[in-house]
Structure 1
């Protein structure tokens, strides 16, 4: 190398021209001290990212561990420096210390190196006494966002106790053995941000006095290499991919997203969402400032930026180029000064930003052409600015989160539609009939499960009877809901024909088989349902049950004790080829009949037998407490601790009643037309006893026609029964299975007008069939003033 006239004069201090730089394995400049910039005239922004060879003149070997080279200076010329390279163990970065060519003694060189280390903040340095108290520290506290330390402090004053103890133990070993510690990797957490982990490499040596006696320890702390940072970023990205998207709840997904960036990238993560997204709708296209209808819905730490409260609408924003860039899908990284300048409103800054902070990254949640909201990462205790790699990582995590939130939003919309459809298809929650008081409860599945096909029904039947139904269509979603609606309509239609429960389920089974045949081939195996159908008769106080894959109901007597009900469940609807057995039991008036679907007893992974026992105990307790029936279902859910899970929950409660014996009259007649007059006389006397004389004329005509037809066409014996409740029921039973038909007689016909006349004199009439024979029934209304 050629000499240079631009060296430091003899009157200069030892460290006046000392420079430091950080290089990677390829010689690329990573750090450039202020002294280096002053020496050669090139600022750090002009040097970092370039090879050191671009600034070294001809001659010399800048790749050697020590030596002399000529550095180029701005404006021409150069300066010769002696340098030394200090490799850092297990990483690609090296520390270079250089000084203009001049004479050094060991003391001066040591002082120069010490001053160089303590004069910059890219590398942390600390000197400890024999008791490991801090004699001097520079750079290291600032790296952690901690205030400067006073001489005599201990590491535990700035670090979490566990981390401070680990470092002191390493320094203690250096003091005792004299062996240097090189490149030891540490996890360090400051007391001001204990949830945020930082990783450093620490090298340490023992300090000795002139007699070689231990005098303390010195340590150097460096940031991880780029490879370490890259691995850390990959770990964060992988963890975010696993964590975010596991729920189909919009708020839960937003919370997972906020937690995925803290403490790995910042001290506070928050998510703003458009109000429309929270209800499942698409957000409007934003352009410029104004009221953007945003709400902050999630925070990683539970504390929200500024004066924001959860779910409060954010104030209007001023129009700004950065805001428009954000609305176009670009990520913003801003220092505090840049953020305040963009808003240009101190009050708005207080509302939106933490009280103390250094920098923020705001990434839009952009999916399918819509900006759903934004993800914010705030650095409050860490003065280190966000790197390009940090910003790119936040952008990637926000992109993943946006897709997950959009999936949850669309699920919310579909789930809301399915629930609305389900609720519209279900009957009224409560009914009050002469047979029973009923209360139904339906709660849709939650936790990411689609709406199911559960339903309940209480169907009033002729002769004051009541049909009770619960069912569960296989599968979830709108398909299951639509199938449920078709089955419910079919059961209503069949119930009016009054078959016994087993016959009704057989007919519904055939319907489900047809529905399966109509379904696409890949879905045919999934078209099925379970159903329990029961008919309660308040006159006989008997209840007939038939089951297609549903478990037996719970029947509790008025005192809360359980009545054992044994039924033989048939196969689920849609299997075909198997009968449905009917079980008939006596039910004491005032008893509680509870029909339910499996979500009621097998929710949350609970054993069904255990769930049934808990359900029975809860119902029994509420009977003794006299809990109103319309409140009992919700109270039972609370007792069982059932949270929305993968299954719908359906419960139908019916408190039975009985028609008083003095409200029923019954007669038997032989097959002789002379009994028609006798039947009329008995009807007239009975109505007079009930105070219903005004119904005598029409009832006589109805009875006369029905008994005459029974005697003439069916034979005997003929049974006549009157039931008085909210309506007057008249029943005529004969041994024939012939279907009565209503027809319009011609003027020349001598007969055929009987059923037509009956239909005109009553509000409704019909026919049902038993094991032998049939029963024709009619109903006539009773005025409120005539009821007793």
Structure 2
């Protein structure tokens, strides 16, 4: 024994052998065992000390395997006086440290290990004083031994309960259950483990216990009793419950991008695992998706977003869902928000009492339900304070512990990120919806060519996208109908949609044919893709589009599409069918041609234009979607209608227009799931109208200026037959100018056509020249150049369009009296 280590009494022989098998250390115990001094063996090979084991030695183990880290066995060692010493040796491989190689520590006990006279007393003291609560029962389940820890648990004097059975000192059901387990252990000889929740005599709440019942046997191996031990593993159970709650929170919270639903999920996850009642209150800015203007200041206005209780109906709630409450500085909610940390308070604390005195209604509610503890945790994410979560206990008797605070903060932090994501999504969605509303037509124009109705529904989850539709009046009573879909969702897709819709209107205004219009639109999408790219990589702007032009005079429709679903035609009293037409490449591919198709459309037919979100909804394939669309279009319209979405035309006009509105609703109900579509949907229905031949007059014009006068006379007579004599003077001047220009600058044959409906008179002059006229301002002494300027002054609008055979100059005159 040394002063440095009083326990090193040389009762153990120790030696250290390096990686080369050389002895590096030799203890006093080793000298006592073999007689060698350290100076005689240190630095020499350890193998020199080995000697053969006597033949009668039992239990000699195998030599150590390569890579083995521990070895033990009986070995023969050479004593300094030449005799062989038999010793049991334990060797450990010690890992390298601080760059030094590993070494083996070899140890062998020197003293006799047989039981000493005092060992029995020591073992008895260990049983009695062990911190592990233990009892010993005999074969008749009578208590024969109990240690101090168990006596404290049952709160009975140990000496007084000796001889009793478990049911004698524990009259609860657990006593009978424990006896039944002990009988099975005695009968089978197999140990049993039980996990249960029990409240010990000296505890205020139930703890989690691991009960072990093991058989005791005599020298012959027969069961002679049982040993019962109790281990309190409440902290392990609580840690497991906390981990389970955190895991459940990560799974259940944030299932949607809805702020209110996310807040409700937070409240439901924490009840009853963490509290009996949980409320989630959001600052006004966070509740509406906006950024907070700055840190909260007292008093704080909070809107109740969600709450949940162990009691059905949450009678403990003072604020109703959606209600705004103002909290003073002394309230736990405001104190938590102002401090930026969790605040735990009892119902009887001074600050809470001051607050409750200010709010009598809340005071009565707390007293009625026995609320005794609250914990307020601020909702914070990405440096922004969103609101506060209040955890309340009234059924659980314990106050909130430090571990409860950490758990609440962990769950709340996860939920705050989900709420912030939902808030940001809501803000972006509202912005995109506002942009979408501004870009889609507020109402569809009333034309003589078609009656139209439309619907636009944003995606249920992905948000608004790039779907759009439009109805564009053209010259000659014609009308253009367009529907398109930009790839992607969000503000970027809506902005791209707005640019394409504007481009389509501009190209339609110069009366391009459908295939030519799509070619120009394709060039625009290619440029947008190049602008969207970065660092030499191409962008990902893409779109599909369908463009159709219907002429009510000829009752023919010309269509072209760019990677878009073909429209469905429903003839009057007929079966819906898809229009056969070339598919065409999607916009943005570039360089590939588009083809037009032309078909005759009977008056009263319905053309259905739509985006792929309508027919490709859910697990339904495209063909099934087309069949469902055809069935919905063929069915009789119902009497009720769905709420109208952004961009929907108002239900005004004729009864036929109203029926189209009902058809739109029926189609959406039939094809879309109750929760909304995964992609945004645009639907445009147009019922065609025909212009009677009696409202059209046509003349072939000889290329002789002298015949302009007779033509003017025929026009006046035709207007008189139509009952439009009031417009004769203006129409006569316009016809004279247009016909004279065609004779002077155009090419034969020349044709004049008058078209009218209830509101408009159209004058059209066609020739085979492709040279378009230009409006110019004549100088003072010019003899000409004032014709088209005069036409522009006398008409509502005028223009020219190219045809396959040349061009047509047209002008529109209003027939309604202006106020």
Assess same fold via TM > 0.5: yes
2:197/2:207 contact within 8 Å kept: yes
C-alpha distance in 2 between matches for 1:300 and 1:226: 26
- Determine the structure 2 residue equivalent to 1:275: 284
Unaligned runs of 5+ in 1: 1-59, 69-81, 87-93, 98-105, 121-127, 139-150, 156-166, 189-196, 207-216
Q: 1:317 to 1:108 in 2, by over 3 A?
A: farther
1:168-317 counterparts in 2 under 5 A? 171=181, 174=184, 177=187, 182-185=192-195, 200-203=209-212, 224-283=233-292, 290=299, 292-299=301-308, 303-304=313-314, 306-308=316-318, 310-317=320-327
C-alpha distance in 1 between matches for 2:410 and 2:450: 61
1:465/1:535 contact within 8 Å kept: yes
2:271/2:308 contact within 8 Å kept: no
Unaligned runs of 5+ in 2: 1-117, 136-141, 157-163, 199-205, 216-225, 640-655
- TM-align CA RMSD: 4.0
SS of structure 1 residue aligned to 2:454: strand
Q: How far 1:539 moved relative to its partner?
A: 1.4
| Match status 1:332 vs 2:343 | yes
- Determine the structure 2 residue equivalent to 1:572: 586
1:340/1:349 contact within 8 Å kept: no
Choose 253-262 or 490-499, whichever is displaced more. Answer: 253-262
| Match status 1:764 vs 2:800 | no
- Determine the structure 1 residue equivalent to 2:475: 462
- Determine the structure 2 residue equivalent to 1:479: 492
Which one of 668, 672, 681 corresponds to residue 637 of structure 1? 668
| Match status 1:727 vs 2:736 | no
1:15-414 counterparts in 2 under 5 A? 66-67=124-125, 83-85=128-130, 94-95=132-133, 116-119=152-155, 171=181, 174=184, 177=187, 182-185=192-195, 200-203=209-212, 224-283=233-292, 290=299, 292-299=301-308, 303-304=313-314, 306-308=316-318, 310-320=320-330, 322=332, 323-338=334-349, 341=353, 343-345=355-357, 347-351=361-365, 355-356=369-370, 359-414=373-428
SS of structure 2 residue aligned to 1:281: coil
| Match status 1:595 vs 2:633 | no
Q: How far 1:362 moved relative to its partner?
A: 2.6
- Determine the structure 2 residue equivalent to 1:501: 514
Q: How far 1:350 moved relative to its partner?
A: 4.6
Q: 1:704 to 1:315 in 2, by over 3 A?
A: closer
Q: How far 1:682 moved relative to its partner?
A: 1.9
Q: What do residues 484-537 of structure 1 show as CA deviations (whole Å, max 9, x unaligned)?
A: 111111111111100111101111111111222222326733112111111111
Which one of 649, 657, 661 corresponds to residue 689 of structure 2? 657
C-alpha distance in 1 between matches for 2:722 and 2:497: 44
Q: What do residues 467-494 of structure 1 show as CA deviations (whole Å, max 9, x unaligned)?
A: 1111111222222222111111111111
SS of structure 1 residue aligned to 2:470: strand
Q: What do residues 750-774 of structure 1 show as CA deviations (whole Å, max 9, x unaligned)?
A: 3333222222221211111111111
C-alpha distance in 2 between matches for 1:711 and 1:473: 46
1:181/1:204 contact within 8 Å kept: yes
Q: How far 1:466 moved relative to its partner?
A: 1.1
- Determine the structure 2 residue equivalent to 1:535: 549
1:556/1:593 contact within 8 Å kept: yes
C-alpha distance in 1 between matches for 2:549 and 2:521: 16
1:440/1:651 contact within 8 Å kept: yes
1:560/1:624 contact within 8 Å kept: no
SS of structure 1 residue aligned to 2:694: helix
Q: 1:182 to 1:422 in 2, by over 3 A?
A: same
Choose 343-352 or 174-183, whichever is displaced more. Answer: 174-183
Q: How far 1:455 moved relative to its partner?
A: 1.2
Q: How far 1:424 moved relative to its partner?
A: 0.7
C-alpha distance in 1 between matches for 2:796 and 2:331: 75
C-alpha distance in 2 between matches for 1:352 and 1:629: 58
- Determine the structure 1 residue equivalent to 2:635: 621
Which one of 681, 685, 709 corresponds to residue 741 of structure 2? 709
Larger Cα-atom Rg: 2
Choose 269-278 or 586-595, whichever is displaced more. Answer: 269-278
SS of structure 1 residue aligned to 2:369: coil
**Alignment coverage as a number of residue pairs:** 649
Q: What do residues 353-387 of structure 1 show as CA deviations (whole Å, max 9, x unaligned)?
A: 98255544332112344431222334454334433
Q: How far 1:404 moved relative to its partner?
A: 2.1
SS of structure 2 residue aligned to 1:67: helix
C-alpha distance in 2 between matches for 1:154 and 1:538: 95
SS of structure 2 residue aligned to 1:83: helix
Q: How far 1:463 moved relative to its partner?
A: 1.4
SS of structure 2 residue aligned to 1:584: strand
- Determine the structure 2 residue equivalent to 1:163: none
C-alpha distance in 2 between matches for 1:137 and 1:540: 101
Which one of 745, 769, 781 corresponds to residue 748 of structure 1? 781
Which one of 669, 686, 695 corresponds to residue 718 of structure 2? 686
- Determine the structure 2 residue equivalent to 1:775: 808
C-alpha distance in 1 between matches for 2:169 and 2:214: 15
C-alpha distance in 2 between matches for 1:463 and 1:731: 8
C-alpha distance in 2 between matches for 1:67 and 1:333: 45
TM-score by length of 2: 0.71
Which one of 554, 565, 571 corresponds to residue 551 of structure 1? 565
Q: 1:232 to 1:720 in 2, by over 3 A?
A: same
C-alpha distance in 1 between matches for 2:352 and 2:170: 33
Q: 1:153 to 1:628 in 2, by over 3 A?
A: farther
SS of structure 1 residue aligned to 2:631: helix
- Determine the structure 1 residue equivalent to 2:750: 718
Q: What do residues 220-247 of structure 1 show as CA deviations (whole Å, max 9, x unaligned)?
A: 8765353443344234323323433443
C-alpha distance in 1 between matches for 2:197 and 2:714: 99
C-alpha distance in 2 between matches for 1:187 and 1:118: 15
Q: How far 1:563 moved relative to its partner?
A: 3.8
Q: How far 1:675 moved relative to its partner?
A: 3.7
Q: How far 1:550 moved relative to its partner?
A: 0.6
Q: What do residues 287-321 of structure 1 show as CA deviations (whole Å, max 9, x unaligned)?
A: 56545233142437774361346524254334327
Q: 1:629 to 1:218 in 2, by over 3 A?
A: farther
Q: 1:736 to 1:267 in 2, by over 3 A?
A: same
SS of structure 1 residue aligned to 2:471: strand
2:134/2:229 contact within 8 Å kept: no
1:721/1:730 contact within 8 Å kept: yes
